[in-house]
Structure formats: structure tokens, C-alpha cells
């Protein structure tokens, strides 16, 4: 049955090669790749949506706030127009009062100052002043402010410029109206002086701020003259650059407590000093709203990511599970296991792939069976050819010599010589049959016992000297101390292996003629015993070195089955070692036979014999 075992081992090795790819990277799992791709797409889409929506919201908020600021400025101008119109009507009524005209005709400043108090209280305004025809201020009253020279100068500037309506005094700002007093009609009468009435802008600022939720500030010469801001924001606003005339182009400004969108209106042409109106709209409410929208989008994205991940894991598992089963089947088939289960579920493509793989497996198994049968027949043919050639050689010798023995004309010496030839042929046939039987029995349990390898080697050399192929070959042995060569081995098999190795060396050395020599050396090691056999033949041909220990491999020999080295190697492997060709050049060939001194049980996974069998040696 040995040809079948050899072919089965060869097929198993090829299947293992099919099932494993050396140096192959494991790669990323399909399920992980699908989940990762889904997560990347979800995160990317969420980030893009968040960015685009945030930009759109900011643009929309900026646009809305810009409109609010523009409307606030328009509302301020409309309110101021109404207030100025009311002040002008009030001044017109005062200017027509006979008592006021009579007071102004007195021409005495003290008299006018004494009488002006009643008119100021009557008007209820924040600012009241009377001036002579030249614009000189005779009397001026202001709430929470003193009528000093700066106020008088501002009133003179207001009277001299009819288009100005805003009077700036220190940190106070007034919307004012100046009306001329005439004795007689306005067209033909005599100019008696001027009456000036004004209202504080603080009221107007609050009226703008409360309904529209905007902040308004009036700046003049780097100081605040009216504002709804707190002190910290006022200081930040003064430090910030202010561009006059930019009410149609709002810009961002950072104050102490928040960011604001600001619009600036230049009122300098209507004021006694440079004056700007700064209207601000806080971005904090809008930003809080944008943050809430961002959180909503992020929450939605995270929910989509979690839901998508769970769904993708389920879907990818349904998709990749048949592929994993198919991959497991491919590896199993590569290792020679034909009982694996090919998946019949999954997507259409997976099912088609499974069917194609099943068909491929069937074709491979059929091809392997056909090749196994052909190799079995070829092996049997080689064995039959080798055995039949040697058997014919030995039988021919027996037959011919038997005919000679039948003759009565032979002498006793000739009969003994012929009988010796017949015995040699019979021994050769017996030796060949014994080799075949030993080859077929290898792999079975060993009958190990404590033996001295020196004794076994001496017995092998004794048998070698009696063999015809050792005639004319000089044998040199270095055996060492017998007591140091104890080993737990099967004596009969080790003796056979040593004899085959020595006989192979003798057959190779005889080619060189009378100088043929074989040298055997026994080397003792703590765990192993090594026997080195050296001959001076022409060396092992290059063509058979790879298959030297395969059965029926023999080149350059006129007889022999080609089982000698195969048996020696297999016996050595079963004893925890092996046979190795160490060197082979013309004139020097060295073989090493190595065996373990103590063999463990075959069932022990650490056993040399078990390890050798698992390693899948080519025998």
C-alpha cells in the first residue's frame, strides 16, 4: 500500500499549498470597511450640512439685523422730525406771546433774566434760552447742566446756522429749535431776539431702544454724549473704529459683553459739534439660536450615525457571513478537508460564487483522483520494472547454474563454485524481497529496546563484508567506546538502515576500481547518535539529489531496487532523526544517519517521531 500513501501525501501537500498563500497580508474585513465607509459618509454629510446651514443662517441673521438697524435709523429720524416739529410749534406760540415780546423790548438783561424763569417752567423743556438780536445769549436754563460760556457759544452757533438742530454741551445732547422774536410782523417787524427750546436726546434714545431691542449711542469728539449702553460697552465702543456715513453698510464690532452689528449715521451737519449716531444690534440672541440649530443638526447626525451603523452592521453581516463561510470552505479545501459546507444563502452574486466554487472543487477532486490513479499505476510500473529486472537477473543465474549442476561431467570443485553462485542469487532475491517487506512495514509501531549502536554497527559491517557488492572495497570503521553508544531503538530496523547506507556507499565506491574505500564514523552526542558514512566514489548526480530519498530512485547502478536510502531515511525518521546528504563531490560523498537516543511515546505531541510525521516529510 506504500504507493497510495506516497500519492496521498503528495496530494495533501499540494492542497495545503492551495489553501495558504505565503506572505499574504490579512487585509481589512469587509464588514469593517462597509461600516467605516458609512460612518465617514454620515460624518462628512453632517459636517457639510452643518457648515452650509450655519453659513446660511449667519448670512440671513446678518441681513435681518442690517434691515433692523436701517429701520432703527429711519425711526430715529422720523421721531426727531416729529420732536423738532413740536418744538418749532411751541417756539412759535412763545414768540407770539405779548408778555415775552414786552420782556424782550425792555433791553435790560437782569429784567429779562428774572422774567425768563416763568417761560422756562411754562415750556417744560430740558433747555430754554433767550438771545438778543445779535445772537448773544441773555439767559439760558438747562436741566442737570450749568449755563456756562461753552453753552452760550453753542447757542450762538445754533442761531447762526438755521440748519442745525443738535446742541452739544459737555456730555449732554439736545434737539433744539430757535425762533426769532419780532415786534410787529415777521416780514416787516423789528427783530427783538431769539427764543431757543430743546429736549434731551436721552429720551429719544430710550424710545428707539425699547421697542426695537437695539442699542443707540451718540458720539462727539471721542466721548459719549447719549447712550443706552453700560459703561464697559461705552469704553469699548470709543476704542473701536467708527466710520461715519456707514449706515448702509453695517459691520461687526466687539464690545465688552458681546458682539454687535453696528450702523453709523453722521449727524455733524446738523449739530454744533461733530456728532455720530451709532445704532447697535446684539448678535448674542441670534448666536444662541444658531447654536441651538447646530446642536439639533449634530444630534440628528449622531442619531443618523448610530442608526446607520447598527443597520450597516446588520446588513454587512448578512452580506459578509456567506463570504466568510465560503472563505472558510476555501481554506478547508486547501487543507484537504472535503467535508466542508458551502453556503447556499446570501445575495445572488454570493450564491453564484458558491456554485462556481463547488463546481471547481468537484473538478479538482476528479482531477486529483485521476492523477492519483495514474501516479499509482506509474509507481507500480516503476516498481515492477525494477523488481522484474533484478528477479530475472537472479533467476537467470539460478536457472543456468542449475543446468550446469545436472551435468555429470563437473568436478566437485566446479559444483561447489556453481552452488555458491546459486546461493548468491538466492540471497540477492531474499534481500530484495526483505527490502520490499521492510519498506511496506515502515510506519508501524517500533519494537524498541536498549541497544548498543556500536554492536549494531559491527553487525552491519559484518554482513556488509559478506555481501558481494563489498568485494574489493576497503572498509574503515571508527566506532569509539561501546558503553557510550546506548540508545533505545529497534535493533533490527537500525541494523537494516546501517547496512543499506554502507551498501550504498560500497556500490558507489566500486566504480573507481581498486582504490575504492568506505569510512564509517560513530559520533556520540547527549541526545543523538550520528553515523557518518564517507566514500570516494564519483558523487551523487545532480539530477537525483532532490529526490534522493524517494523510492525506486537509482542512477549509475547496474542492480538494486532503489529502496536502500529510502528505507534508511524512513527508519531514521521513525527513530527521531533522519538521513542527510552532507557533501557530494567527485572523490568524497558523506551521508549522516542521525537517531535519537531516547524516543518518547508516539502519542506524545513532543515526540520526535510524531513531530516528523506531522512535518509531512517526503518519503
At 531, phi and psi to the nearest 5?
Answer: -115, 120
pLDDT of residue 534: 92
- Residue 192, class by beta-carbon neighbours within 10 Å (0-12 exposed, 13-18 middle, 19+ buried)? buried
The whole-angstrom separation of Cα 598 and Cα 587 is 35
The whole-angstrom separation of Cα 233 and Cα 256 is 5
C-alpha cell at 145: 447742566
Collect all residues with Cβ–Cβ distance below 8 Å to 401 and sequence separation of at least 6: 418, 419, 421, 422, 425
Judge whether 130 and 139 are in contact, CB under 8 Å.
yes
CA 24 remoteness from chain centre: 18
pLDDT of residue 557: 53
3-state secondary structure of 531: strand
Collect all residues with Cβ–Cβ distance below 8 Å to 128 and sequence separation of at least 6: 116, 119, 120, 140, 141, 195, 196, 197, 198
Angstrom CA distances, 119 to 58, 113, 123, 154, 181, stand at 54, 10, 6, 21, 14
pLDDT of residue 265: 83
pLDDT of residue 442: 54
pLDDT of residue 332: 78
The whole-angstrom separation of Cα 141 and Cα 151 is 10
Strand-strand pairing, 588-596 and 578-585: antiparallel
Round to the nearest angstrom and report the end-to-end CA distance of the chain.
14
The whole-angstrom separation of Cα 194 and Cα 178 is 7
DSSP 96: T
Judge whether 436 and 561 are in contact, CB under 8 Å.
yes
The whole-angstrom separation of Cα 214 and Cα 229 is 10
Judge whether 390 and 557 are in contact, CB under 8 Å.
no
C-alpha cell at 476: 574503515
At 262, phi and psi to the nearest 5?
Answer: -120, 145
CA neighbours closer than 13 Å in the CB half-sphere of residue 14:
12
The residue ranges of the chain whose pLDDT is under 70 are 1-27, 208, 210-212, 241-249, 376-394, 397, 399, 427-428, 431-432, 434-446, 551-562, 599-619
pLDDT of residue 590: 92
The whole-angstrom separation of Cα 90 and Cα 127 is 13
The whole-angstrom separation of Cα 598 and Cα 487 is 6
Judge whether 501 and 565 are in contact, CB under 8 Å.
yes
DSSP 166: E
Angstrom CA distances, 256 to 237, 253, 261, 290, 573, stand at 9, 10, 14, 21, 91
Judge whether 197 and 87 are in contact, CB under 8 Å.
yes
The whole-angstrom separation of Cα 201 and Cα 455 is 131
pLDDT of residue 268: 85
Fold of domain 56-285: Beta-Lactamase (3.30.450)
The whole-angstrom separation of Cα 127 and Cα 446 is 131
- CATH number corresponding to 442-614: 3.30.565.10
Collect all residues with Cβ–Cβ distance below 8 Å to 58 and sequence separation of at least 6: 290
Judge whether 7 and 372 are in contact, CB under 8 Å.
yes
DSSP string, 487-504: EEE-HHHHHHHHHHHHHH
Q: Model's pTM, two decimal places?
A: 0.47
What are the strands, taking DSSP E only, across 357-501? Answer: 449-452, 474-478, 486-489
- Residue 76, class by beta-carbon neighbours within 10 Å (0-12 exposed, 13-18 middle, 19+ buried)? buried
Judge whether 137 and 112 are in contact, CB under 8 Å.
no
3-state secondary structure of 18: helix
pLDDT of residue 530: 92
The whole-angstrom separation of Cα 436 and Cα 441 is 9
- Residue 460, class by beta-carbon neighbours within 10 Å (0-12 exposed, 13-18 middle, 19+ buried)? buried
Assign residue 178 a region (left: φ > 0; alpha: ψ between -120 and 50; beta: otherwise).
Answer: beta
Where in the chain are the domains? 56-285, 442-614
Amino acid at each position: 500500500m506504500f504507493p497510495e500513501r506516497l500519492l496521498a501525501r503528495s496530494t495533501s501537500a499540494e492542497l495545503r499549498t492551495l489553501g495558504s498563500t505565503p506572505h499574504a497580508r490579512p487585509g481589512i474585513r469587509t464588514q469593517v470597511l462597509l461600516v467605516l465607509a458609512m460612518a465617514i459618509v454620515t460624518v462628512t454629510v453632517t459636517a457639510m450640512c452643518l457648515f452650509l446651514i450655519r453659513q446660511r443662517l449667519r448670512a440671513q441673521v446678518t441681513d435681518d439685523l442690517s434691515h433692523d438697524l436701517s429701520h432703527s435709523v429711519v425711526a430715529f429720524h422720523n421721531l426727531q422730525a416729529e420732536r423738532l416739529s413740536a418744538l418749532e410749534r411751541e417756539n412759535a406760540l412763545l414768540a407770539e406771546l405779548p408778555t415775552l415780546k414786552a420782556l424782550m423790548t425792555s433791553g435790560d438783561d437782569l429784567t429779562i433774566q428774572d422774567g425768563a424763569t416763568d417761560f422756562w417752567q411754562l415750556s417744560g423743556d430740558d433747555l430754554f434760552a433767550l438771545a438778543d438780536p445779535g445772537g448773544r445769549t441773555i439767559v439760558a436754563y438747562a436741566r442737570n447742566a450749568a449755563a456756562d460760556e461753552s453753552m452760550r457759544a453753542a447757542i450762538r452757533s445754533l442761531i447762526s446756522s438755521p440748519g442745525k438742530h443738535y446742541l452739544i454741551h459737555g456730555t449732554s445732547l439736545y434737539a433744539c429749535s430757535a425762533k426769532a422774536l419780532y415786534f410787529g410782523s415777521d416780514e416787516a417787524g423789528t427783530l427783538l431776539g431769539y427764543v431757543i427750546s430743546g429736549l434731551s436726546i436721552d429720551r429719544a434714545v430710550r424710545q428707539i431702544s425699547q421697542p426695537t431691542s437695539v442699542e443707540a449711542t451718540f458720539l462727539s469728539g471721542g466721548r459719549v454724549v447719549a447712550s443706552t449702553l453700560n459703561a464697559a460697552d461705552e469704553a469699548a465702543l470709543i476704542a473701536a473704529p467708527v466710520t461715519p456715513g456707514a449706515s448702509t453698510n453695517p459691520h461687526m464690532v466687539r464690545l465688552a459683553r458681546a458682539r454687535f452689528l453696528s450702523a453709523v449715521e453722521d449727524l455733524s451737519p446738523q449739530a454744533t459739534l461733530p456728532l455720530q449716531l451709532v445704532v447697535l444690534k446684539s448678535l448674542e440672541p441670534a448666536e444662541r439660536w444658531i447654536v441651538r440649530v447646530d446642536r439639533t443638526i449634530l444630534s440628528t447626525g449622531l442619531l443618523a450615525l448610530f442608526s446607520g451603523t447598527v443597520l450597516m452592521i446588520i446588513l454587512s453581516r448578512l452580506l459578509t457571513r456567506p463570504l466568510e463561510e465560503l472563505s472558510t470552505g476555501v481554506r478547508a479545501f486547501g487543507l484537504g478537508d472535503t467535508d466542508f459546507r458551502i453556503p447556499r444563502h446570501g445575495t445572488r452574486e454570493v450564491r453564484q460564487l458558491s456554485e462556481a466554487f463547488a463546481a471547481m472543487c468537484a473538478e479538482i477532486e476528479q482531477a486529483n483522483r485521476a492523477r492519483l490513479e495514474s501516479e499509482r499505476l506509474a509507481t507500480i510500473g516503476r516498481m515492477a520494472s525494477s523488481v522484474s529486472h533484478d528477479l530475472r537477473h537472479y533467476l537467470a543465474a539460478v536457472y543456468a547454474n542449475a543446468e550446469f549442476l545436472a551435468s555429470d561431467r563437473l568436478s566437485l570443485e566446479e559444483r561447489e563454485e556453481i552452488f555458491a553462485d546459486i546461493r548468491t542469487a538466492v540471497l540477492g532475491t531474499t534481500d530484495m524481497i526483505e527490502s520490499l517487506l521492510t519498506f511496506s512495514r515502515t510506519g508501524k509501531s517500533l519494537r524498541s529496546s536498549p541497544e548498543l549502536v556500536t554492536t549494531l554497527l559491527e553487525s552491519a559491517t559484518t554482513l556488509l563484508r559478506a555481501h558481494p557488492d563489498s568485494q574489493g572495497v576497503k572498509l574503515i570503521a571508527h566506532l569509539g567506546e561501546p558503553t557510550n553508544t546506548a540508545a533505545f531503538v529497534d535493533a533490527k530496523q537500525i541494523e537494516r538502515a546501517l547496512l543499506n547506507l554502507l551498501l550504498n556507499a560500497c556500490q558507489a565506491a566500486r566504480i573507481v576500481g581498486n582504490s575504492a574505500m568506505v569510512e564509517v564514523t560513530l559520533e556520540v552526542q547527549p541526545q543523538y547518535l550520528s553515523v557518518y558514512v564517507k566514500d570516494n566514489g564519483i558523487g551523487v548526480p545532480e539530477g537525483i539529489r532532490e529526490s534522493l530519498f524517494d523510492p525506486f530512485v537509482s542512477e549509475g547502478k547496474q542492480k538494486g531496487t532503489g529502496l536502500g536510502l529510502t528505507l534508511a531515511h524512513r527508519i531514521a525518521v521513525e527513530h527521531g532523526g533522519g538521513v542527510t546528504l552532507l557533501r557530494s563531490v567527485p572523490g568524497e560523498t558523506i551521508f549522516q544517519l542521525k537517531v535519537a537516543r531516547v524516543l518518547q511515546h508516539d502519542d506524545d505531541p513532543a515526540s520526535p517521531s510524531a513531530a516528523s510525521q506531522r512535518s509531512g516529510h517526503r518519503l
